[in-house]
């Protein structure tokens, strides 16, 4: 695994400005000394910043942005050269500006300040339901902005947009197979910082701009969901909020519906099922006349999951039935490729969990038989989670041996996956076996889950 140590953002802007390292150092010394700051920088100093990632003194950074801005003929922010302050990186960032240009700059600056190591090691943080209030309200009120032609950077074309779509697809694949905490998944942070952020600051036609924002929204959504998987709740909320704002910039209501449905899933998993049901229902109603059936089905699934967690049996059943009906209405000519993974098998897998939450184990078992096989190599985490849910379902029906067997299968599948959510699902299985906690088979399963997955031992 290669570890990035340089600062490609700074190097790229120096090159774009047409300055040599020596010339930048000369101008920097003159500017700093004139302001009363000690400075004796050389081309080697600049090379250390760009190639080795050494950080110049904080007092010097504004002079660098000023010099580059003058050479480029436009303002340059500290975030653009990779030097956003730590305080700026730690702000909640769950903002949804009404002004499109302000929104564009906000997303680009946030991405420019991202660090792969922070993404990997970000602390678990509490979910704040209030952080979604303004973004959700504003998107439901106005889901599409007028066209935006960029921030005067380099010209962006179709190939750039296609590269972001490829990165988003890779992020989904890596997350599903290896988990949100795996280095292959978290490496997407570099794509946001080095590629996607500068693209947003570029110049583009209305058509390319809208395509760019939709692709960027899906990339941000995928990164947000990986953060949910690692219980990095506030980071996930930031990324999902940015994704929803980008969808509005794109004027893409279908994309916005998908993002808002994902936000609803995070919300119910965080313990707010009533709010999540409202969000998913709002996403469906806002997009029902423009979005493809598969997208609307996903929104209804999110609604069903939330209702089930709240114990609303009738509402959950109605939403699940509507999702199934919509999947039967898919038309290839308008089916979005970025949601192709959401099939009847995936719906059935979530339906098992829905009925598990409703304490309807027989219905869960019926859905499991209908679910069909999913590729363990392609959807490793989803298959493992489904197996853990089946184990908990067997515990509900009193089928202890079947539950233990499913538990061991779940550990087999999930042990290599870097996922806090995976550990939670196995812990839920063990909790469902509470009345048998002294049974030798349960004790063995608990010890193995603790040893191989760091699942806490039951009290």
Instruction: Say if CB 140 and CB 286 are below 8 A apart.
Output: yes
Paired strand residues for 155: 203
- The mean per-residue pLDDT over the stretch 342-361 comes to 93
Instruction: Say if CB 452 and CB 411 are below 8 A apart.
Output: yes
Are 46 and 118 in the same domain?
Answer: no
Classify 374 as helix, strand or coil.
coil
> Is position 317 within any domain?
no
- The mean per-residue pLDDT over the stretch 311-336 comes to 95
Of residues 443 and 333, more confidence is placed in: 443
> Is position 28 within any domain?
yes
Q: How many structural domains compose the chain?
A: 2
User: What is the Cα–Cα distance from 251 to 133, expressed in whole angstroms?
Assistant: 20
Q: Looking at the predicted structure, is the pLDDT value of residue 454 above 90?
A: yes
Are 70 and 141 in the same domain?
Answer: no
Which pLDDT does position 2 carry in this prediction? 34
* CATH value at residue 11: 1.10.260
Classify 405 as helix, strand or coil.
helix
> Is position 351 within any domain?
no
Question: Of 214, 231, 250, which residue sits at a domain end?
Answer: 250
> Is position 429 within any domain?
no
Residue with tokens 């509490």: 126
Mean pLDDT check: name the lowest of 65-79, 391-405, 418-432, 441-455: 65-79
Question: Of 26, 48, 78, which residue sits at a domain end?
Answer: 78
> Is position 406 within any domain?
no
Mean pLDDT check: name the lowest of 188-202, 224-238, 326-340: 188-202
User: What is the Cα–Cα distance from 437 to 404, expressed in whole angstroms?
Assistant: 11
Q: Looking at the predicted structure, is the pLDDT value of residue 281 above 90?
A: yes
Mean model confidence pLDDT for the chain: 88
Q: Looking at the predicted structure, is the pLDDT value of residue 409 above 80?
A: yes
pLDDT confidence bin for 88, thresholds 50/70/90: very low
> Is position 170 within any domain?
yes
Give per-residue pLDDT as tens, 370-386.
776 777 778 889 899 99
Which pLDDT does position 34 carry in this prediction? 73
Give per-residue pLDDT as tens, 177-223.
888 777 666 677 778 888 898 899 889 999 999 999 999 999 999 99
> Is position 286 within any domain?
no
- The mean per-residue pLDDT over the stretch 4-17 comes to 81
Are 246 and 112 in the same domain?
Answer: yes
Are 177 and 241 in the same domain?
Answer: yes
Are 106 and 184 in the same domain?
Answer: yes
pLDDT confidence bin for 4, thresholds 50/70/90: very low
Are 70 and 131 in the same domain?
Answer: no
Are 150 and 223 in the same domain?
Answer: yes
Paired strand residues for 150: 203
| pTM of model > 0.85 | no
Q: Looking at the predicted structure, is the pLDDT value of residue 317 above 80?
A: yes
User: What is the Cα–Cα distance from 126 to 124, expressed in whole angstroms?
Assistant: 7
Are 138 and 200 in the same domain?
Answer: yes
Which pLDDT does position 185 carry in this prediction? 63
Instruction: Say if CB 455 and CB 449 are below 8 A apart.
Output: yes
Are 44 and 172 in the same domain?
Answer: no
> Is position 333 within any domain?
no
State which of 148-157, 163-172, 324-333 shows the largest mean pLDDT: 324-333
Question: Of 49, 78, 107, which residue sits at a domain end?
Answer: 78
Which pLDDT does position 78 carry in this prediction? 80
Domain extent, residue 235, equals 97-250
- The mean per-residue pLDDT over the stretch 97-111 comes to 88
Are 103 and 26 in the same domain?
Answer: no
Are 191 and 128 in the same domain?
Answer: yes
Are 236 and 144 in the same domain?
Answer: yes
């Amino acid at each position: 695994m290669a570890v990035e140590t340089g600062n490609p953002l700074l190097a790229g802007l120096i090159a774009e400005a047409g300055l040599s390292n020596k010339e930048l150092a000369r101008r920097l010394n003159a500017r700093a000394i004139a302001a009363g700051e000690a400075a004796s920088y050389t081309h080697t100093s600049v090379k250390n910043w760009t190639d080795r990632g050494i950080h110049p003194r904080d007092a010097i950074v504004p002079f660098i942005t000023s010099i580059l801005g003058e050479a480029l003929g436009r303002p340059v922010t500290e975030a653009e050269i990779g030097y956003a302050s730590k305080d700026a990186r730690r702000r909640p960032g769950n903002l949804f500006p009404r002004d499109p240009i302000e929104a564009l700059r906000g997303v680009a600056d946030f991405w420019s300040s991202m660090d792969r190591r922070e993404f990997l090691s970000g602390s678990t943080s509490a979910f704040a339901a209030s952080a979604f209030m303004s973004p959700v309200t504003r998107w439901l009120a106005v889901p599409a902005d007028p066209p935006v032609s960029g921030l005067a950077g380099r010209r962006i074309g179709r190939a750039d947009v296609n590269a972001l779509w490829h990165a988003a697809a890779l992020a989904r694949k890596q997350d599903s197979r290896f988990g949100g905490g795996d280095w292959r998944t978290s490496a997407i942070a570099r794509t946001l910082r080095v590629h996607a952020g500068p693209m947003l600051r570029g110049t583009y036609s209305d058509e390319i701009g809208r395509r760019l924002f939709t692709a960027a929204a899906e990339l941000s959504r995928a990164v947000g969901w990986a953060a949910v998987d690692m219980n990095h709740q506030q980071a996930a909320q930031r990324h999902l909020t940015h994704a929803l704002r980008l969808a509005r910039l794109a004027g893409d209501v279908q994309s916005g519906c998908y993002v808002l449905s994902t936000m609803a899933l995070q919300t119910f998993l965080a313990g707010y099922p009533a709010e999540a049901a409202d969000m998913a229902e709002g996403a469906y109603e806002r997009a029902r006349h423009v979005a493809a059936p598969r997208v609307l089905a996903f929104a209804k699934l999110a609604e069903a999951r939330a209702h089930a967690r709240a114990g609303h049996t009738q509402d959950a059943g109605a939403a699940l039935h509507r999702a199934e009906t919509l999947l039967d209405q898919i038309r290839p000519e308008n089916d979005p490729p970025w949601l192709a993974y959401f099939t009847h098998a995936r719906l059935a897998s979530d339906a098992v969990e829905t009925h598990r939450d409703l304490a309807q184990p027989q219905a869960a078992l019926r859905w499991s038989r209908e679910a069909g096989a999913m590729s363990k190599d392609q959807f490793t985490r989803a298959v493992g989670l489904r197996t853990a849910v089946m184990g908990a379902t067997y515990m509900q029906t009193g089928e202890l041996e079947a539950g233990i067997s499913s538990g061991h299968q779940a550990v087999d599948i999930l042990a290599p996956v870097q996922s806090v959510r995976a550990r939670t699902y196995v812990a839920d299985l063990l909790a469902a076996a509470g009345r048998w906690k002294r049974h030798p088979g349960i004790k063995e399963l608990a010890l193995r889950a603790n040893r191989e997955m760091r699942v806490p031992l039951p009290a």
